[in-house]
A and B are shown apart, each in its own frame.
Chain A
Amino acid sequence: MKRISINPVTRLEGHGIVEIFLDEDGKVANAYFQVPELRGFEQFCVGRQAEEMPVITNRICGVCPEAHHLASTKALDELFAVDPPPAAKKVRELFNMAFYVTDHTTHFYALGGPDFILGPEAPPAERNILGVVRRVGLEAGQQVIACRARNHEVIRMLGGRSIHPVAGLPGGWSKPVSEEERRQIEAEARKNIDFALFTLKVFDTVVLGNPAYLELVTSDLYHHATYYMGTVDGDNCLNLYDGLIRVVDPEGREFARYPASQYREYIAEHVEPWTYLKFPYLKKLGWQGFRDGASSGVYCATPLSRLNVSDGLSTPRAQEEFERFYFTFGRRKVDGRYPPVHHRLATHWARLIELLYAAERMLELATDPEITSPDVRRIPERIQGVGIGSVEAPRGTLTHHYESDQRGVLQAVNLIVGTTNNYAAMSMSIRRAAEKLINGTQVVEEGLLNRIEMALRLYDPCLSCATHSLPGTMPLVVNLRDSQGRLLRSLRREG
Chain B
Amino acid sequence: MAEKPKLSIYWASSCGGCEIAVVNLHEKILEVDRSFDLVFCPCLLDTKKSDVEALPEGSLALTLFNGAIRTAENEEMAHLLRRKSRLLVAFGSCAAEGCIPALSNLHSKEDHFRRVYREGPSTVNPAGVVPAPLTRVPEGELRLPALFKRVKRLEDAVEVDYTIPGCPPESHQIWNVVSAVISGAPLPPQGSVLGAGHSTVCEECRRQKDNKKITRLRRSYELIPEGNSCLLEQGLLCMGVATRDGCGALCPQVNMPCTGCYGPPEGARDQGAQMAAALASVLDLGGYRGLSEEETARRADAVLEAIPDYAGAFYKYSLAGSVLRGGRP
Contacts and interface: CB of A to CB of B under 8 A. Distances in A.
Interface of A: 6, 9-15, 19, 21, 29-30, 32, 34, 36-40, 42-49, 51-52, 55-56, 58-63, 65, 76, 80, 106, 124-125, 128-129, 142, 145-146, 148-149, 152, 156, 159-164, 166-167, 169-171, 174-175, 263-264, 267-276, 278, 280, 283, 287, 377, 379-380, 401, 407-409, 412, 414, 416, 464, 468-470, 473, 475, 481, 483, 485, 492-495
A414 B254 contact: no
Interface in B1-43: 11-21, 23-24, 26-27, 29, 42-43
A37 B147 contact: yes
A273 B129 contact: yes
A409 B309 contact: yes
Interface of B: 11-21, 23-24, 26-27, 29, 42-50, 67, 70-74, 76, 99-101, 103-104, 106-107, 111-112, 115-117, 120-125, 129-132, 135, 137-145, 147, 167-168, 171, 219-224, 250-251, 253-256, 259, 261, 307-309, 311-313, 316
A274 B141 CA distance: 9
B34 to A, nearest CB: 13
B167 A124 contact: no
A470 B138 CA distance: 32
B151 to A, nearest CB: 9
A409 B308 contact: yes
B115 A38 contact: no
Nearest to B108: A43
B168 A481 contact: no
Nearest to A464: B16
Contact of B15 (A59, A171, A267, A274): A59
Contact of B256 (A76, A148, A174): A174
Contact of B14 (A30, A170, A416, A468): A468
B44 A61 contact: no
Contact of A148 (B17, B26, B308): B26
27 contacts: A10-B72, A13-B73, A21-B139, A37-B145, A43-B107, A43-B111, A47-B311, A62-B15, A62-B19, A152-B24, A162-B24, A169-B256, A170-B221, A174-B255, A268-B124, A272-B131, A272-B135, A283-B124, A401-B121, A407-B308, A412-B121, A414-B121, A464-B15, A468-B14, A483-B139, A485-B140, A494-B42
Given A52-B316, A163-B21, A416-B122, A19 B107 contact: no
A269 B221 contact: no
Nearest to A473: B43
A279 to B, nearest CB: 10
A295 B130 CA distance: 27
Given A39-B13, A60-B15, 18 more contacts: A9-B143, A12-B145, A36-B144, A40-B101, A40-B104, A40-B107, A44-B106, A61-B16, A62-B17, A128-B44, A145-B29, A273-B135, A274-B135, A276-B144, A278-B117, A283-B124, A473-B44, A494-B42
Nearest to B100: A59
